[in-house]
Amino acid sequence: MTPEEERVWEVLRGKRLGVKFRRQAIIRGWIVDFWCPELRLVIEVDGKWHRDRWAEDGFRDAELERLGIKTVRISNEFVQRNSQGLEEELCWVIAARRADLSREL
């Protein structure tokens, strides 16, 4: 894992935010950074090389969305610059996903 992924994992691991995440999970042949099956939520931490992969990332995100899986992308720069706000941002992402899923019922 990159240092930024390790920082995100520190926040997500052990159900610290109320849901279980797995790291480096495989979904339909794609390796995702963090996966929460309960919320059908993927969190990706994107470094510089993702700037050149926007088409591939977009295709993968669309395919996962077709399966009912939401992908949220967080940039390395955000993680580096917002160490204090990272946990708050991830809480917001989880709350928003819960709201989305409750509306689907």
Q: Report the predicted TM-score, pTM, of the whole model to 2 decimal places.
A: 0.91
Distance CA 102, CA 85 (A): 26
Closest-CA residue to 90 (of 13, 27, 38): 13
Q: Which residue has the tokens 């935010």?
A: 17
pLDDT of residue 62: 95
pLDDT of residue 47: 81
Residue by residue, pLDDT tens for the chain (105 residues) are 899 999 999 999 999 999 999 999 999 999 999 999 999 999 999 886 655 666 788 899 999 999 999 999 999 999 999 978 999 999 999 999 999 999 987
CATH of region 3-104, choose from 3.90.1150.10, 3.40.960.10, 3.30.465.10, 3.30.470.20: 3.40.960.10
pLDDT of residue 44: 96
Domain ranges of the chain: 3-104
